[in-house]
Amino acid sequence: LNLFAVRYFEVGGDYLKNDKFQADSRFKEVFYANLSQESSFKIYEYLSPKRLISVYYANLSEAQDPMVKISRENPDRIIIEFNFTGNEAVLFKEFYYPSWTAGEDGYNKNLNIKKTVENFMSVQPSKGASEVIFYQKNTLDILIGYSFSLMTLTLILTVLIFGKRGIIADIISFKTA
């Protein structure tokens, strides 16, 4: 629930049979509808939700909350500045990929990125942090791809320059003839 800053939620169906929220002091039942055996449901209030800082359009120069500053000068790096109290969650609404990493206060402390149901990314900064950074880090598969591309380019240039029928050999033989 903290990943989405949920305040109210519905419980119905099989979850009503094992209603674990009733005995949990973090939740308060606010509505119960017993319409029929199949369509009964309860609405609970989560009494201690975290504040959610949602980053959904990362080219913002200003956030909707004036206390939050969001900057993205590079597609592979986004910075969220805020005085975190430890009671917030940052939801980055960009699709999760293993190359994404998150850090707190620069790159000093790594944060654990949790993949949400919608395949977005969420982190929970610690109390006292002033900045969260999401950034792309090269993974092994990306580095292998770069290496194969570089080797292929080198091979093509070698054939063009030094091959008997290479373009460079044709240009040199044309000038000398």
DSSP 22: T
Q: Beta-carbon neighbour count of residue 10 at 10 Å?
A: 12
What is the bridge-based pairing of β-strands 41-46 and 69-74? unpaired
pLDDT tens for each residue of 132-169: 999 988 778 888 998 999 999 998 888 777 766 656 65
Q: Are strands 88-92 and 51-55 parallel, antiparallel or unpaired?
A: parallel
21-55 pLDDT tens trace: 788 888 888 888 877 766 778 888 887 766 666 66
The 109-111 sheet, strands edge to edge:
69-74, 77-81, 131-136, 100-104, 109-111
Considering the entire predicted model, what is its pTM? 0.54
